[in-house]
């Protein structure tokens, strides 16, 4: 595996690579990331993983500082998986001095995480635009866990970069989505979060039923979950998967949630 630390290293290493599969990450790799990598290895000639904790997508400095880092372990995992390239740039290398995002979300797109985390997706789009300019992959692998992220990346960047987007299903442990942020949870909260995930999955399925929906409206569900599990729900929404509009329950929908437990913010969708 080639470890690429600068843009120049990267350009040189992939010069003659066609059909590259690209898995962008922020590191602290877990089985969710690994499933994206394995999907890429099945389909692409060569696979490149990036590890870059992108400062511009953090709306809270403290959250950026606390984001888990495990670069030595990450490299070991990637070597074992026989990944071809890992790109680990510095903030300076990616941004020089220009750290502002040129992307602006429409008002109608400021929903779910975009409503609660100011500038988050603008930062995600900016870094993805820069990474895609460098890597020029044929296939881009993103997780369904960050549903709104893959939706916006596809909407804003597909035309320009012409990647084929492969959405990979969410990998779970005891019903809970794996996430690097889970490392910041106390053991007890991890257990609670697993129970919450199980309950949310059941609620999502019951929501297909009209009578259940009438009896359990969104606000009463939020109250019930907050009281039962002692969490703070940032949003809980049922939305169509095609355009993320509020679901009328006639076409395919998902339950989207963001909540705080142990001061750690978790997101998921079911
Ligand atoms: P991150 O390192 O959290 O920025 O995630 C990098 C990529 O891995 C994103 O495309 C995520 O959606 C994806 N990912 C994160 N967690 C999971 C999971 N539990 N299952 C599948 N994909 C995931």
Q: What pLDDT was estimated at residue 5? A: 97
Q: Which of 17, 32, 36 is nearest to 138 (CA)?
A: 17
Q: Is 29 in the pocket of ligand 1 (CB under 6 A)?
A: no
Determine which residue's CA is closest to atom 5 belonging to ligand 1: 25
How is the chain split into domains, by residue range?
2-169, 173-269
Separation of 149 CA from ligand 1 center, angstroms? 10
Per the DSSP assignment, residues forming a β-bridge with 237 are 256
Q: What pLDDT was estimated at residue 17? A: 94
Its CATH class, for the domain covering 2-169, is: alpha beta
Whether 256 contacts 241, CB under 8 Å: no
Query: What letter does residue 67 receive in the DSSP assignment?
Result: S
Q: d(Cα 36, Cα 167) in Å, to the nearest integer?
A: 9
C-alpha torsion angle, residues 238, 54, 25, 245 (rounded to 10): 20
Convert the chain into a string of H (helix), E (strand) and C (coil).
CEEECCHHHHHHHCCCCCCEEEEEECCCCCHHHHHHHHHHHHHCCEEEEEECCCHHHCCCHHHHHHCCCCHHHHHHHHHHCCCCEEECCCHHHHHCCCCCCCCCCCHHHCCHHHHHCCCHHHHHHHHHHHHHHHHCCCEEEEEHHHHHHHHHHHHHHHHHHCCEEEEECCCEECCEECCHHHHHCCHHHHHHHHHHHHHHHHHHHHCCCHHHHHHCCHHHHHHHHHHHHCCEEEEEEEEECCCCCECCCCCCEEEEEEEEECCEEEEEEC
Determine which residue's CA is closest to atom 13 belonging to ligand 1: 143
Determine which residue's CA is closest to atom 17 belonging to ligand 1: 32
The question of whether 19 is a catalytic residue gets the answer no
Q: Which atom of ligand 1 is nearest to the CA of 172?
A: 19
In sequence order, what are the residues at sequence separation of 6 or more whose Cβ sits closer than 8 angstroms to the Cβ of residue 102? Answer: 126, 129
- pLDDT per residue, tens digit, the chain (270 aa), is 999 999 999 999 999 998 999 999 999 999 999 999 999 999 999 999 999 999 999 999 999 999 999 999 999 999 999 999 999 999 999 999 878 899 999 999 999 999 999 999 999 999 999 999 999 999 999 999 999 999 999 999 999 999 999 999 999 999 999 999 999 999 999 999 999 999 999 999 999 999 999 999 999 999 999 999 999 999 999 999 999 999 999 999 999 999 999 999 999 999
Query: Which one of the listed residues 19, 30, 33, 158 is annotated catalytic?
Result: 33
Q: Is 146 in the pocket of ligand 1 (CB under 6 A)?
A: yes
Q: Is 21 in the pocket of ligand 1 (CB under 6 A)?
A: no
Its CATH class, for the domain covering 173-269, is: alpha beta
| Domain 173-269 in the same topology as domain 2-169 | no
Structure tokens at 69: 């880092």
Q: Is 177 in the pocket of ligand 1 (CB under 6 A)?
A: yes
Separation of 52 CA from ligand 1 center, angstroms? 13
Q: What pLDDT was estimated at residue 98? A: 78
Structure tokens at 172: 């779970």
The model's pTM is 0.97
């Amino acid at each position: 595996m080639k470890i690429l630390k600068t843009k120049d290293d990267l350009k040189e290493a992939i010069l003659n690579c066609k059909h590259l599969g690209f898995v962008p990450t922020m590191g602290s790799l877990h089985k969710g990331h690994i499933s994206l990598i394995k999907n890429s290895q099945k389909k692409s000639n060569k696979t490149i993983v990036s590890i870059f904790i992108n400062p511009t997508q953090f709306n809270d400095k403290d959250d950026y500082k606390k984001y888990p880092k495990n670069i030595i372990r990450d490299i070991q995992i990637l070597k074992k998986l026989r990944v071809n390239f890992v790109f680990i740039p510095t903030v300076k290398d990616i941004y020089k001095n220009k750290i502002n995002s040129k992307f602006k979300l429409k008002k109608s797109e400021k929903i779910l995480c975009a409503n609660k985390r100011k500038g988050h997706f603008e930062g995600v789009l900016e870094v993805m635009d820069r990474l895609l300019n460098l890597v020029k992959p044929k296939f881009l692998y993103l997780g369904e866990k960050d549903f709104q992220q893959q939706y916006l990346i596809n909407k804003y960047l597909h035309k320009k970069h012409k990647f084929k987007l492969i959405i990979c299903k969410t990998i779970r442990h005891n019903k809970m989505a794996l996430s690097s942020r889970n490392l910041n949870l106390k053991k007890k909260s991890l257990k609670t979060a697993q129970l919450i995930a199980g309950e949310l999955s059941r609620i999502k399925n019951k929501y297909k039923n009209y009578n259940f929906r009438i009896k359990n409206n969104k606000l009463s569900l939020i109250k019930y979950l907050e009281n039962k599990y002692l969490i703070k729900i940032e949003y809980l929404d049922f939305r169509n998967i095609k355009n993320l509009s509020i679901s009328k329950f006639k076409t395919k929908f998902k339950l989207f949630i963001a909540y705080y437990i142990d001061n750690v913010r978790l997101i998921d969708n079911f």
